[in-house]
């Protein structure tokens, strides 16, 4: 498992399977982001991931890419 070296992102979609995986990732040390309701076509999976405690932050789709870049840059300085 990749643990603390992973960053998970869950985007618009239905169901719970992705939400369960996000929780597993978080429990292994990954940092997770969920797409916010306002920018989702279907808020099902992000909503479930948030409810399960599998995410660290919730962002609009337009903000996710820049946040990922910042997180990767931050991790590279730590490694």
Cα-based angle 51, 30, 19 (whole degrees, multiple of 5):
30
Give residue 3's pLDDT.
Answer: 85
Which pTM was predicted? Answer: 0.91
User: What are the boundaries of each domain within the chain?
Assistant: 3-78
- The topology (CATH level 3) of 3-78 is Rossmann fold (3.40.50)
Residues 34-73 have pLDDT tens digits of: 999 999 999 999 999 999 999 999 999 999 999 999 999 9
Query: Is residue 55 within 8 Å of 49, Cβ to Cβ?
Result: yes
């Amino acid at each position: 498992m990749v643990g603390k070296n992973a960053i998970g992102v869950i985007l618009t979609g239905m169901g719970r399977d992705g939400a369960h995986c996000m929780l597993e990732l978080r429990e292994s040390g990954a940092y997770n982001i969920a797409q916010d309701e306002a920018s989702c076509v279907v808020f099902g999976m992000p909503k479930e991931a948030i409810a399960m405690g599998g995410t660290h932050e919730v962002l609009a789709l337009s903000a996710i890419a820049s946040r990922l870049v910042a997180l990767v840059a931050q991790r590279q300085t730590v490694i």
